[in-house]
Structure 1
């Protein structure tokens, strides 16, 4: 921002000198030796009739003053293209080394990993570029190059750039790309400890524990006392133990769940209580059939029971209705109902009904245990939930007729 302001000030000063409205031009009346108007430098004569905005745009096309490589307005910028071409002058190793150093500076000084990664990529691309053709205007050139030494230099730069780009990818959480760069570096030099370390770190982040262990152990073969690698190995081993314990706990939990489910099935079968599941079970996660002892089929079974009051569109829910309990046991504390303004619901004024397997209705004895009702062979527990309709006696006929009517339409 400071540079932009200083450039704007420079432009304003130039305009004052040009049109004689201020600055030195104002002193012309006092000092006749100073001309009233000072011409622009020869390189800017073509812009003497331009506005300050146009002059600023022209300056911004000059590489020295550019704030962005995109500030070209889609036009060819010869100076900029020439500057870019300079980056590729020299041998492949020299060009790659230049890009590598720029990437390293970004990492060391500013931790700008995305930009640094781009420079390492440019360095690697430069090593793959074919040599530039000679300039015909310069004539044939004879350059003596030790090809073997140059190849070694290129190989070393490639290895370093791959390992450094792996670091950038690791910091950016691009773990797959990090592993790919490490693998390429290790093909060049299997003893590169940094490549083993960064590969191990990426595998650990992905919970690829066997691969992370292999990377750590492989690196320690070449540097047994490398502190960073030994620290990483401890982290990997700790994560391995944690995951193993979690997996063991999960397996035990699943095995316990399977045992409990099998025990419950056995308990219901031995009691002659059929069950059925539908495609649309009610969203009631708390509604579960349960044994007092989940792994003992002979222990008492409790059922979730929903009490329906169809005449008044009301319900009550009993989470744990024990098999040896009766409807009277529960209705006795449910009644009186808070919404029963006409006092229609009491033990002696209501009838209880349950739907049969065939789709009919049976009158459920209020004093019978739930086990006797469910094991009669006429009822079934649907989606783990027992349903009982409670109807005032004087409305029972209407309820039954309505039920038959609805069933007849299905």
Structure 2
């Protein structure tokens, strides 16, 4: 237990809080997320400003003190750079993200000593590349490998790391070039040979996939051309919003095809017999429900589908417990603005679309289904409301 003499009054506590921090450190402020990111323990990555040495040391005192706490500026530059390299190696071998980030910071501090030992500098760059690689910074890793090679052009480990980084980035050709550079120095390296073989296999796979994509795109283009011609021959009323007077015919066609494919109900296709097959939506306003027929050929009629959906003597939907919906009693209505036009259930979909100039919105012809004589039919159809 503390003695009473040691206890502080509320006034004394407030007075202490108002005094400047003797360590020069301010509490976390409104930019606390940035402060956390600049703390060695919480970094997800090493900011470029830390690597460049351009970060504001007075603004991020915790990071600055971390960088300064081990070695004095008075020590020999090469010795200090070597110590930073060794510290980085210790952190790197921990195999954790925090360790890799601390290793990058240590290698960076070693490089900032600007010692004249080119071999040491090349090792620092190559080691930093390894740490950058380990946290997924493959471009930075490649850049560090290039810096290492400026100090030591025959540094095979740096060339190998650059090849690995380029493979991770998906740059097969660049990876092969790096492998060739390494093999020119060590033609028997099993690691390099295996990496080059892997890169060549990936490159062939990429080329094969590119040919497949090109063939698929050409096939899709042919299908689209035939589909657009089918629309024109039938003179269909396809809704296309936001028309642009300056767009080309090709741009308009592409926009039309995109608009037809943006529905969750599927989209119109052309079957092997040259018939358009549509997704068709049937609305039942009296019950506030709907159905979607995803494969409705233009040669079929509404009766063809309604007779299947509401078979005589068959099961009725849950929303029709009284079995009011039977084919003879049903009528199909196209709702165009304030007008409601009754459709002939026995007529093919194509004839309905063209005869009544039905506007097809988002590629889905839509009809309302009523029971003749019902209250909803009288109110919405006969009265025209």
For normalisation by structure 1, the TM-score amounts to 0.63
Instruction: State the distance in 1 between where 2:306 and 2:227 align.
Output: 27
Which residue in the other structure is 1:398 paired with? 379
| Preserved CA contact (<8 Å) 1:89 1:95 | no
| Preserved CA contact (<8 Å) 2:118 2:152 | no
1:229-267: per-residue Cα shift (whole Å, max 9, x none)? Answer: 212212222222222233333333333222222221211
Asked whether 1:166 is paired with 2:145, we answer: no
Alignment of 1:8-407 (within 5 A): 90-104=75-89, 107=92, 112-127=99-114, 151=116, 154-277=117-240, 284-293=263-272, 299-335=274-310, 337-338=316-317, 339-356=319-336, 360-376=339-355, 378-395=357-374, 396-400=377-381, 404-405=384-385
Quote the RMSD (CA, aligned, Å): 3.2
Q: Which runs of 5+ in 2 are unaligned?
A: 1-40, 42-64, 243-258
Q: Which runs of 5+ in 1 are unaligned?
A: 1-69, 71-79, 129-150, 406-410
User: Bigger shift: 341-350 or 205-214?
Assistant: 341-350
Q: Which of these two proteins has the greater Rg computed from alpha carbons?
A: 1
Instruction: State the distance in 1 between where 2:261 and 2:220 align.
Output: 22
Q: 1:193 to 1:313 in 2, by over 3 A?
A: same
Q: How many residues align?
A: 296
Instruction: State the distance in 1 between where 2:277 and 2:158 align.
Output: 61
Give the drift of 1:96: 2.1
Instruction: State the distance in 2 between where 1:84 and 1:318 align.
Output: 73
For normalisation by structure 2, the TM-score amounts to 0.67
1:186-231: per-residue Cα shift (whole Å, max 9, x none)? Answer: 1222222111111111111111223222211222222222222212
Give the drift of 1:281: 8.7
Instruction: State the distance in 2 between where 1:85 and 1:379 align.
Output: 80
Which residue in the other structure is 2:36 paired with? none
| Preserved CA contact (<8 Å) 1:216 1:233 | yes
Instruction: State the distance in 2 between where 1:188 and 1:316 align.
Output: 72
| Preserved CA contact (<8 Å) 2:71 2:80 | no
